[in-house]
Structure formats: structure tokens, C-alpha cells
Amino acid sequence: MKDSANGLKHNDGLVTSPTSSPAAIIQTESAVKPSLRKRKPISLPLEVGTRVLCRWRDGKLHPVKVIERRKLSTGPDDYQYYVHYNEFNRRLDEWANLEQLELESVEADADEKVEDKAGGLKMTRHQKRKIEETHAEEGHEDFDAASLREHEEFTKVKNISKIELGKYEIETWYFSPFPPEYSDCNKLFFCEFCLSFMKRKEQLARHMRKCVLKHPPGDEIYRQGSLSMFEVDGKKNKIYGQNLCYLAKLFLDHKTLYYDVDLFLFYILCECDERGCHMVGYFSKEKHSEEGYNLACILTLPPYQRKGYGKFLIAFSYELSKKEAKVGTPERPLSDLGLLSYRGYWTRILLDILKKHRGNVSIKELSDMTAIKTEDVISTLQSLDLIQYRKGQHVICADPKLLERHLKAAGRGGLEVDASKLIWTPYKEQGG
């Protein structure tokens, strides 16, 4: 075939001019097919920082970066590599064996990208969304650049891979600073009632024969059907509070681990049956928050996620604020995922009131009715285009059709808190 613009002939993918020499043809072929270039020999073990393709649990190759490596006892040259999958959140980082790595994809040049080599292995939009929904990204807005680098360096390698809690074996997501004597453990065994943790299954079995607890060591303040909520005072139950923090940190990347649990109250949500009350999640709050925070940390354990428990915990924190006759807000800054959860809760609550309310209602009245801080009310209504700023004040514009459209988009609110089942005295009234 001939290119009329420049007189070049195309021959089986090679580009030649009518007068080109064999040497020119070879040179041009090299430029068109970089895969024929002589590769640098791959030396093992791979260096930390190497970029390569790795076969993940879906059976497909994904671009990774080697974060760390460790020597195995099976041979002098046998290593495992701790890898970060570029497409996924850090919680999916893991130890990979050499046979999982596509050594031919190791980057030879600084400008050569492993991601490009995975071109034919790209996930569909549906596959990627499914992974991202299960392993949603946590933010680090509470770190400055230097602190974030220090945090990621210190926590780059997940120290505990799995835990056993009750009837579940759970893969962990992040590093947690367990005491040094547990640094060589791949798996920990937790008592699901007192949260003591052990290295071996036999130790747990012995412990369970002696442990008298069948629920968290605090006061049951709520019961509805098979759900119960327990309030645990960190000062009265220090070991339980610290163990809960160790456990939670395995699934929370961006939170600081507080060793001084005396200042916190922990609210443990449980599913109850004839064997006892099994923790599904929790939130914590400071006993006295100068900033008006009604929640410090929140977690739903992985086996219980996507069942509405996270929304329930958020709603419960506001029911406590109502009992205290205060407005509340979660501790800042929120991660992207945290903001999404809260914005969903605020949206459903405010829209429901606006739909049922007759006559005008002010921002202050909405805040008093819901215990949601005025700033959160305003930001939520602004995001829905339901508020305008006129003559120095905010005016709510609640068009019924727009409300109905937003309510439909907001979806279901999940499990509801029955305030009549809450038996609770605020901490300040306990004389504490």
C-alpha cells in the first residue's frame, strides 16, 4: 500500500521509503516493535520499589509495586514480596509468592509503565466498581503531607493477616500496633466477648472455658428484637477499650489509636442469640467534647457490612445527642467515605421532615428537631439546591416535586432506631 502524502510504502507493519536500505528497515522495525528490544536481565530477589504485574485472587494480572520483601526458610534465594495493587485501596496489600509475579513485566526503564502492559487485562467498569464498593477508599484528610508519609511508612506492611472472632475468620485490612510479642503472628484469635486476643486456637479454647462474659462488659442501654447496644466506660473497662482499639485499627487506616481510653465511652452494637451477644460494630465518643462532637470513631465489622448497621450507628449517636438536649456532629475531618455516609443520613432525615412539615421552618428549628448541627444542615440543603441566601439569611425552598425526587434518590434509610427502647442517662448526670 502507498501513502500518497509522503510516498511511504507500508509492508506488513513496516514503514519504508522507496530508497531505504536493509539497515534502515531493521532500525525502523525496532522503533515500531519495542518488545523486540533486548531486555535487561532480571535479578532476583526483586528490589523494594519494583513495579511488576501480579496475579490477584480474581485470577487476573494487575500492576503492583513491591513495598517490602522477606526471606523464606525454604531456600537461600526464596523470598516473598509485600505488594500494593495500584488500582485498589491499601487494605488489599498482601504478601505474594514469586510464582504470582509476571517477571517479564518488570520495568526495565524509568519511563516504561507496567500499567500499559496490562492493557489487555483491563477490568470492565462493572468489575472495578464492584471491587471499589467492597473496598471503598478511606481518606487521610487529617494528615499533612509529612505526617502522611510518616504514617504510610510506619504502617506500610500489614502485620496481622487474619483474625478469628466468634464464628468468623476475617481478613484484615490495615496495620495495627499490637504489642511486640505478637509481631510474628499471621493470625490472632479473639474472644468475642471480652476481646482478649491469643496466638493459638488452643489458647482461645482454654480461655473460652474460663471467660464468664457473654456480652460486652458494660450496661445494656437498648434492646430491639435481637439487637442490643451496650455502653462501655473506657475508664472502668480499660483493657476491653484498648483491645477494641487494637481490633478496630485492623480495619481503619486513617484513625489514630488512642491508648488513653479513659476519656471515651464505647457503644457496642450486638446481635444476640442463645449463645450470647456478638459484636457487629461500634462507635466511640468523648465523655466531654469541647467541639460538640457526638462521635469519634465508627466501625462495622466486615462480616456485617452492607446490612444497614453503619446507618444505625450514626442514627444512634444522634439519639444520644437528643437525650443530652444538644446538637452534635462527627469528629472532623471526615474521610470521603465517612462524609458520604453522613451526608446520606442527613439528607434522609431533613427531607423527611421537610416533606411532612406544614408552613415555614427555620434552619435552627431543623437543627433542634434532629440534633444535627446547623452547619451540617446548611451544607446538606445546599448540596440539594434546597436553600438560598436572601437579604442576609438562609431561606429554605422546599418544592414538593424536588423533595420527592431527592427522597427517591436518597434510597432507604436502613435499620431504624426506636427511641422508646433507649434507656440511658447522659454521662454528666452519672456524676462521672
Q: Which residues does the annotation mark as catalytic?
A: 331
| DSSP-based helix, strand, coil % in the chain, nearest 5 | 35, 25, 40
DSSP state of 381: H
**Under 8 Å between Cβ of 154 and 257:** no
**Under 8 Å between Cβ of 97 and 74:** no
| Cα 190 to Cα 327: distance, rounded to the nearest angstrom | 36
DSSP 45-106: SPPTT-EEEEE-TTSSEEEEEEEEEEE-TT-TT-EEEEEEETTS-GGG-EEEEGGGEEGGGS
**Under 8 Å between Cβ of 58 and 92:** no
Query: Residue 12: how many CB atoms within 10 A of its CB?
Result: 5
Residue type at position 403:
L
Question: SS3 of 248, please?
Answer: helix
Query: Residue 96: how many CB atoms within 10 A of its CB?
Result: 19
DSSP state of 258: P
45 prior amide bond cis, ω within 30 = yes
